């Protein structure tokens, strides 16, 4: 059982808890959650269905199906095409297949370390806090050099952005991810390793009978026969990622001993288009106006059939399952009157509407204060910041895996950390770091539930922002004031009368 301690949300939102307390309590706990608790010694391993939201591009814009993959906590890559048991300090992996992985040989599947899959880096403390295609391409190139050099020497693999091995690097920069997890034994893991290492890894992908969801179904059912099933009625004869996740969740609920839990990794705030919720076939017809309206006009008898099929047999909400079965077994809170730790319901990890409302109110007050103190010009700065920051900047990754952005401020070069580990580090421009963190918080608080990070992770964001204000407040105010002086007021520009 993993215990995560949180400070009362009301204290956080009203600013009655210092950044120092937050750093000592909240941050280590959130990191433990992000590591899924799998770094701790456990008798069991885990296998999970990875459900990636829809990119709303190409064919996915029509189908809305998203993508499916497989998570392992105790299986790690010996290479991208060979499996082994994980060693100490490793946090598992994700295995996936695509139409065209794009490597020099046509493989059916690749496997990558979990943190590389989610964030593009091995150490979760170096995870990016800002996402753009520039950053993702830098992380992809780093992965190619470090992991794929023997499999990706040809020009198409190295240079084409259509090579789908790229989707297995920093997936959370382009979409939100859910993982539905249950326990496995070491014997089951060893059996799967032997089966996949001894079998040909040859691509036979087709969208109807051997797609990514069929691959996930095959792997999961190797552990637990018939644990995942297609929904031919709602997916028109095919297997969809959502059907696999739904059937796997139902299997976990039918077998309480399997310890079902759900994890949610929100898309990293930035300039990349936001992903969309995954849909089944009939759900897409039912919910999408571009399909429903033509059906009503030209084929009205089909409308009640589609609606009935979805409403009675096809509904499944990943976000709601996350709220019901979060990965944290028990959450605790500090009572603000007695100071003692008391138990709290598990769904507290995702935050209540009241929690988020309090944070929005506290953030609005913070922005007003920053404007009054000339730290930022106005709130519109936060709306424009990501775009301008990305356009001017050049990202890079250092030898430790930390991400940096070289840019310019008022014609002078500047550098800011883009990882959780270095955004406030020495050498990271305090003004840029502060505005980046303000914009990130603003983005999260405005996001819909399916693309908003859990409250447990947001606590860390809030603590980091408070740390930035505490550590760099005087410098930020001085820099902002200097910038305004250089720009000049209308009187200064026109000169004295």
Q: Where are the domains of the chain?
A: 38-280+316-326, 350-482
User: Which contacts qualify for 381-387: CB closer than 8 Å, 24 or more apart?
Assistant: 381/435, 382/435, 382/438, 382/439, 382/442, 385/435, 385/436, 385/439, 386/130, 386/132, 386/269, 386/270, 386/271, 386/439, 386/443, 387/271
Cα–Cα distance for residue pair 177/450, rounded to 1 Å: 10
The pair of structure tokens assigned to 323 is: 């709220």
To 5 degrees, how large is the angle CA 108–CA 112–CA 113?
A: 160
Indicate the pairing of strand 177-184 with strand 261-265.
antiparallel
Cα–Cα distance for residue pair 186/136, rounded to 1 Å: 34
pTM strictly above 0.75: yes
pLDDT for res 343: 38
Number of other residues whose CB lies within 10 A of the CB of residue 293: 10
**Is 115 within 8 Å of 73 (Cβ atoms)?**
no
**Is 302 within 8 Å of 286 (Cβ atoms)?**
no
Cα–Cα distance for residue pair 416/389, rounded to 1 Å: 11
pLDDT for res 350: 81
Output the DSSP codes for 113-177.
EHHHHHHSSSSGGG-BSSB-HHHHHHHHHHHHHHH-TTT--SHHHHH-TT-GGGGGSSGGGTS-E
Per the listing, tokens 């995870």 go with 127
**Is 273 within 8 Å of 386 (Cβ atoms)?**
no
**Angle formed by the axes of helices 353-372 and 430-446, nearest 10°:** 150
Give the side-chain half-sphere CA count within 13 A for 386: 21
Cα–Cα distance for residue pair 163/100, rounded to 1 Å: 6
Cα–Cα distance for residue pair 397/417, rounded to 1 Å: 10
To 5 degrees, how large is the angle CA 51–CA 55–CA 59?
A: 105
Give the contacts of 461 (CB within 8 A, at least 6 positions apart).
Answer: 129, 437, 440, 441, 444, 453
Cα–Cα distance for residue pair 214/411, rounded to 1 Å: 53
Residue 47: strand pairing partners: 72, 182
Phi, psi of 403 (to 5 degrees): -100, 135
**Is 220 within 8 Å of 229 (Cβ atoms)?**
no
Give the contacts of 388 (CB within 8 A, at least 6 positions apart).
Answer: none
**Is 404 within 8 Å of 417 (Cβ atoms)?**
yes
Cα–Cα distance for residue pair 76/189, rounded to 1 Å: 11
pLDDT for res 222: 96
Residue 334: strand pairing partners: 7, 341
pLDDT for res 4: 34
Phi, psi of 257 (to 5 degrees): -65, -15
pLDDT for res 344: 56
Give the side-chain half-sphere CA count within 13 A for 279: 20
Chain centroid, CA 332 distance in Å: 24
Task: Kindly list the averaged pLDDT for each block of 10 residues, start to end, along the chain of length 497.
Answer: 35 40 42 46 79 78 79 98 96 95 96 98 96 98 96 94 95 97 97 97 88 96 95 77 94 96 96 87 57 52 54 72 79 50 57 92 93 84 93 96 92 93 93 94 93 92 90 55 51 43
């Amino acid at each position: 059982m993993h215990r995560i301690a949180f400070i009362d949300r009301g204290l956080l939102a009203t600013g009655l808890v210092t950044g120092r307390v937050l750093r000592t309590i909240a941050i280590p706990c959130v990191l433990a959650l992000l590591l899924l608790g799998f770094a701790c010694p456990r008798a069991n391993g885990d296998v999970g269905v990875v459900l990636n939201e829809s990119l709303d591009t190409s064919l996915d814009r029509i189908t809305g199906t998203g993508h499916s993959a497989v998570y392992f906590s105790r299986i790690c890559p010996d290479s991208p095409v060979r499996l082994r048991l994980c060693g100490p300090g490793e946090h598992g992996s994700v295995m996936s297949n695509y139409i065209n992985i794009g490597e020099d040989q046509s493989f059916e599947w690749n496997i990558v370390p979990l943190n590389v899959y989610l964030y593009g880096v091995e150490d979760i403390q170096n995870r990016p806090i800002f996402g753009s295609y520039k950053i993702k391409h830098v992380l992809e190139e780093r992965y190619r050099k470090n992991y794929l050099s023997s499999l990706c020497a040809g020009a198409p693999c190295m240079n084409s952005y259509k090579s789908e091995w790229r989707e297995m690097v920093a997936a959370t920069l382009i979409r939100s991810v859910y993982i539905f997890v249950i326990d496995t034994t070491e014997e089951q893991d060893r059996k799967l390793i032997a089966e996949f290492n001894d079998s040909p890894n040859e691509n036979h992908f087709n969208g109807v009978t051997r797609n990514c969801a069929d691959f996930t179904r095959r792997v999961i059912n190797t552990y637990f026969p018939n644990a995942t099933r297609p929904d031919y009625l709602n997916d028109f004869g095919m297997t969809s990622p959502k059907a696999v996740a739904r059937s796997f969740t139902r299997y976990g609920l039918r077998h309480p001993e399997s310890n079902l839990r759900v994890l949610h990794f929100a898309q990293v705030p930035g300039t990349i288009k936001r992903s969309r919720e995954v849909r089944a076939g009939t759900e897409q017809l039912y919910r999408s106006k571009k399909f429903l309206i033509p059906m009503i006009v030209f084929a009205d008898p089909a409308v009640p059939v589609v609606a009935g099929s979805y409403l009675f047999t096809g509904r499944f909400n990943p976000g709601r399952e996350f709220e019901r079965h979060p990965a944290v077994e028990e959450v605790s809170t500090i009572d603000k009157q007695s100071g003692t730790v008391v138990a709290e319901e598990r769904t507290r990890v995702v935050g209540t509407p009241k929690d988020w409302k309090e944070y929005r109110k506290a953030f609005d007050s913070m922005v007003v204060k920053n404007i009054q103190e000339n730290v930022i010009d106005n709130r519109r700065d936060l709306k424009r910041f990501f775009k301008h920051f990305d356009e001017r900047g050049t990202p890079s990754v250092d030898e430790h895996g930390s991400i940096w952005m070289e840019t310019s401020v008022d014609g002078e070069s500047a550098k800011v950390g883009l990882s959780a580990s270095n955004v406030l580090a020495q050498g990271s421009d305090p003004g840029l770091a502060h505005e980046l963190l303000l914009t990130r918080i603003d983005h999260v608080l405005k996001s819909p539930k399916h693309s908003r990070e859990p409250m447990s992770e947001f606590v860390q964001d809030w603590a980091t922002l408070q740390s930035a204000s505490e550590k760099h407040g005087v410098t930020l105010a001085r820099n902002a004031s200097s910038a305004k002086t250089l720009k000049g007021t209308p009187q200064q520009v026109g000169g004295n009368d």
